């Protein structure tokens, strides 16, 4: 029995080896079939796939031709603040001693912007620029403006007549200066003459002209702007500087936008065109119109105009007031140079083709079939072209037209 068992085991091992050999042979055959290819099969597999036709839909849309520019939101009025002559004769040197504001800050009625040699430079409401010192006895439109400004700052001028610097205006000036933390400067004015007896006992009195000191508003200490709040655009001095030609600049009034275009772009821009104003910071869009286009030549280092540096300033008037927080922001301007007005039949510009017969056409694709449709082109913009089918052909919105091929 043991000898028979050993024979049976040997036969089983032999059968297993035979099965394994068959499996190996089948695998080798399959691998050879994969690796070994006929020349025709290899060429077929290496050939590019057939081209794929790219199509786009015919649309009904408004076509506009637009150009993109950059612009800055700014106010409609500007003023450069320059130092005036110091009225205090005791001041030996003019120097900036304090700065009360900064670029981007708002200036309110009566605010002290700077201090020069210990004296304030403040801002008041008014349209008449300061051109003289104002004190008792003065009269005119500038005095009436000062009286209105003092009242707006909370300092009534009493019973003084409009435009006449009297006792009530004098008291209001003193009150205003104390409110901003300074003593009002004064100036000598003649007092009413007094008659004194002649010490020698004669009949004729001796007339004397005494003087008194009265508050004054010096030209060098006041700036007038006609709308508040005003915005401080920049401050060009620091404490210790001697004031030069420009201390700071102020702007006020309704917000507008000023952009810049090249001479080539200027040919496309005209007053009245629609402008889309986009604020990246606020993520908001606003509408406006081109108000004006003016030439602005770049200046060379020696102050001469550079012939090759021409640019044009485009002023945009917003259709609605812009938010105050946009003041000073750089924004994107999309100027609509031309528009079809109403919706028209439009295709992508890449759908147009010109045949040997000189006709412009589009190719409509329906399933696997194509047909050429002659068209007349109209307005173009935004990558689209207005088309009108000719020779009795029809082209409906939603139809597919060939715009190219892709391999």
List, for residues 77-109, the tens digit of each pLDDT value. Answer: 889 998 877 766 667 788 999 999 999 898 999
Domain boundary residue, one of 315, 338, 361: 338
**Per the domain annotation, does 37 fall within a domain?**
no
Q: What is the CATH number of the domain that holds 312?
A: 2.40.30.170
The reply to whether 266 and 346 lie within a common domain is: no
Residues contacting 92, CB < 8 A, separation 6+: none
The reply to whether 227 and 133 lie within a common domain is: yes
**Per the domain annotation, does 197 fall within a domain?**
no
The reply to whether 122 and 135 lie within a common domain is: yes
pLDDT (0 to 100) of residue 355: 79
The reply to whether 270 and 330 lie within a common domain is: yes
**Per the domain annotation, does 32 fall within a domain?**
no
The reply to whether 292 and 171 lie within a common domain is: no
The reply to whether 117 and 234 lie within a common domain is: yes
Phi, psi angle pair for 258, to nearest 5°: -120, 120
The reply to whether 217 and 318 lie within a common domain is: no
| Least trusted range by pLDDT, from 51-55, 84-88, 120-124, 171-175 | 84-88
Q: What is the CATH number of the domain that holds 349?
A: 2.40.420.20
**Per the domain annotation, does 126 fall within a domain?**
yes
E strand intervals along 219-282: 222-225, 230-235, 248-261, 274-279
The reply to whether 242 and 100 lie within a common domain is: yes
40 by Cβ neighbours in 10 Å (0-12 / 13-18 / 19+) ranks as: exposed
What digits encode the pLDDT tens for the residues 111-158? 999 999 999 999 999 999 999 999 999 999 999 999 999 999 999 999
What digits encode the pLDDT tens for the residues 209-228? 677 889 999 999 999 999 88
Q: 231: closest CA among 81, 117, 70?
A: 81
**Per the domain annotation, does 129 fall within a domain?**
yes
The reply to whether 184 and 91 lie within a common domain is: yes
Angle between helices 141-152 and 167-179 (to 10 degrees): 50
The reply to whether 242 and 271 lie within a common domain is: no
**Per the domain annotation, does 195 fall within a domain?**
no
pLDDT(271) > 60: yes
The reply to whether 364 and 293 lie within a common domain is: no
b/e code 240-250 from CB counts within 10 Å (16+ = b): eeebeeebbbb
The reply to whether 359 and 264 lie within a common domain is: no
Instruction: Look up the domain containing 295 and give its range.
Output: 68-73+254-338
Model confidence at 305, in pLDDT bands (50, 70, 90)?
A: very low
Q: Which range in 174-183, 287-296, 374-383, 385-394 is most confidently predicted, on average pLDDT?
A: 174-183
pLDDT (0 to 100) of residue 11: 66
Please count the structural domains in the chain.
3
**Per the domain annotation, does 41 fall within a domain?**
no
Q: For residue 269, what are the β-bridge partners?
A: none
pLDDT(45) > 70: no
Q: Which residue has the higher pLDDT, 324 or 137?
A: 137
Mean pLDDT over the full length of the chain: 84
Domain boundary residue, one of 338, 364, 388: 338
Strands of the sheet with 134-135, listed across from one edge: 134-135, 211-217, 186-190
| Least trusted range by pLDDT, from 4-8, 30-34, 340-344, 391-395 | 30-34
Instruction: In whole angstroms, give the CA distance from residue 158 to residue 167.
Output: 8
**Per the domain annotation, does 49 fall within a domain?**
no
pLDDT (0 to 100) of residue 289: 97
pLDDT(269) > 60: yes
Report the share of the chain in percent with pLDDT over 90.
Answer: 56
pLDDT(394) > 60: yes
């Amino acid at each position: 029995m043991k000898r028979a068992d050993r024979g049976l085991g040997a036969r089983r091992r032999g059968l297993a080896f035979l099965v394994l050999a068959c499996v190996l042979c089948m695998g080798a055959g399959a691998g050879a079939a994969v690796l070994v290819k006929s020349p025709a099969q290899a060429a077929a597999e290496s050939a590019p796939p057939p081209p794929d036709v790219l199509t786009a839909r015919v649309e009904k849309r408004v076509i506009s031709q637009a150009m993109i520019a950059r612009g800055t939101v700014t106010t409609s009025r500007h003023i450069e603040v320059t130092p005036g002559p110091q009225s205090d004769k005791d001041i030996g040197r003019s120097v900036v001693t304090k700065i009360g504001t900064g670029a981007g800050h708002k200036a309110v009625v009566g605010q002290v912007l700077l201090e020069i040699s210990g004296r304030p430079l403040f801002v008041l409401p008014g349209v008449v620029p300061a051109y003289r010192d104002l004190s008792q006895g003065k009269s005119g439109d500038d005095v009436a403006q000062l009286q209105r400004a003092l009242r707006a700052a909370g300092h009534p001028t009493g019973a003084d007549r409009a435009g006449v610097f009297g006792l009530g205006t004098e008291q209001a000036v003193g009150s205003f200066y104390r409110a901003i933390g300074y003593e009002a400067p004064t100036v000598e004015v003649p007092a009413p003459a007094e008659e004194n007896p002649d010490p020698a006992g004669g009949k004729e009195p001796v007339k004397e002209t005494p003087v008194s000191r009265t508050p004054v508003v010096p030209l060098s200490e006041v700036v007038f702007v006609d709308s508040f709040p005003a915005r401080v655009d920049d401050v060009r001095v620091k404490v210790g500087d001697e004031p030069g030609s420009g201390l700071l600049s102020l702007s006020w009034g309704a917000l507008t936008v000023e952009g810049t275009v090249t001479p080539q772009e200027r040919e496309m821009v005209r007053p009245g065109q629609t402008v889309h104003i986009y604020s990246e910071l606020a993520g908001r869009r606003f509408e406006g119109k081109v108000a004006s286009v003016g030439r602005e030549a770049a200046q060379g280092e020696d102050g001469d105009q550079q012939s090759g540096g021409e640019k044009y300033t485009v002023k945009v008037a917003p259709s609605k007031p812009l938010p105050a927080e946009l003041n000073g922001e750089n924004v994107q301007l999309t100027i609509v140079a031309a528009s079809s007005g109403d919706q028209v039949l439009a295709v992508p510009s890449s759908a147009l083709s010109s045949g040997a017969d000189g006709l412009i056409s589009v190719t409509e694709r329906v399933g696997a079939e194509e047909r050429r449709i002659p068209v007349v082109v109209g307005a173009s913009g935004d990558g689209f072209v207005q088309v009108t089918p000719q020779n009795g052909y029809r082209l409906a919105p939603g139809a597919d037209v060939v715009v190219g091929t892709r391999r």
